[in-house]
Amino acid sequence: MRPREGTMRPLSVLLAIALTVTLAGAQTLLVSPAKGEKPLTGDVRLDLFLTSSLEQGVPLQGQGPMPDTHHKSPWLAAGMSLAVPGSGEIYAESYWKSALFLAVEVGAWALAYHFDKKGDRQTDFFQGYADQHWNVVQYARYTIDNLVETSRRPYYEQNVFIAGTGLRSPWEQVNWNVLNQMEREIGGFYSHTLPRYGEQQYYELIGKYPQFNQGWDDANLLLPPDYFVIKANLTGRYLYYSAERGKANDYYKNAGTFVTVAIINHLVSAIDAAWSTASYNRAVAQGTVQAIPGPDGLVYVPALRFQYDF
């Protein structure tokens, strides 16, 4: 016989009752039960499987604020994320945000490393290009022939170039102190003194200031110095080298940008970890807990209450 409308099958009724009892639980537990009897909680699992390790006569609270042992420190979370982004979020049990901050951290440092290495390779390239195509002896010779006063030329001819070094590398054939003295004496168009070979400024200046244009091996040594003040008249080697050096600088700037991203990620993660921990503590304080028997007595865990009406 089919049940009338508005009624429930016996099995459904039993399941509904069991679900309601299990999920809702009791608001108040029995206090000081009879000797030898288990305290009833209203939770089927606890009432059926409550172990003898629970002290009898002790009231069990099935709903209420989480004990202080579950309180988390926002300061600790912030410190953890400041050191390792995402670790404070793990502590605050915000796992998705933890994964996000860790991913940003790994990505930022990976890109910083990538661009830094590209900058190193580009630096090796343009420095090698300069060593091959820019000659300090040629630069010094052009300077003496075209810019030094006639009365001073014999002095610089004798002292700028080091005798007996013709078979050595160009940068070993000049007296750098005398060369710089000559540049300072000229002044004007010669606004800088050439740094020693191998220094970072050496490689920067020879592709940055037109005064060094005449050291490139494609320079027309018969043209007057003022012809090269205008960038349109600079040699192809000079312009190509300047662009290649600029690429290296761009790579290093990109690397620095991602280092900055990583630093910001540390700070943002620390702030978020503190906020997430505070939110966790508020959620715990407003939530419910369920007493569950453990090896050493009751263990309190978060619980959700549901109500199902038939």
| 101-150 pLDDT, tens digit each | 999 999 999 999 999 999 999 999 999 999 999 999 999 999 999 999 99
User: Could you tell me the sign of the dihedral formed by the alpha carbons of 118, 123, 129, 131, in that order?
Assistant: negative
Residue pLDDT, tens place only, 202-224: 999 999 999 999 999 999 988 88
Can you tell me the distance from the alpha carbon of 298 to that of 279, in angstroms, rounded to the nearest whole number? 26
In-domain check, residue 31: yes
Q: Does some domain include residue 15?
A: yes
| Residue 296: inside a domain | yes
Q: What pLDDT score was predicted for residue 4?
A: 43
Per-residue model confidence (pLDDT) at position 38: 47
Q: Which amino acid is at 198?
A: G
pTM comes to 0.66
- How many structural domains does the chain have? 1
Q: Is residue 24 part of a domain?
A: yes
Assess if residue 54 is contained within a domain: yes
In a domain, 33, yes or no: yes
Which domain, by its residues, includes 55? 10-64+287-303
Each residue of 57-99: pLDDT tens digit? 444 444 444 445 568 899 999 999 999 999 999 999 999 999 9
Closest CA to 127 of 171, 191, 173: 171
User: What's the number of CA atoms in the CB half-sphere (13 Å) around residue 74?
Assistant: 11
Indicate whether 41 belongs to any domain: yes
**163 is a domain residue:** no
Which of 12-21, 190-199, 220-229, 233-242 has the weakest average pLDDT? 12-21
Average pLDDT over residues 148-167: 93
Which of 205, 189, 206 is CA-nearest to residue 138?
Answer: 206
**Whether residue 172 has pLDDT greater than 90:** yes
The C-alpha atoms of residue 119 and residue 107 are separated, in whole angstroms, by 18
pLDDT of residue 302: 59
How many whole angstroms separate alpha carbon 48 and alpha carbon 101? 45
CA distances from 187 to 47, 104, 184 (A): 98, 51, 5
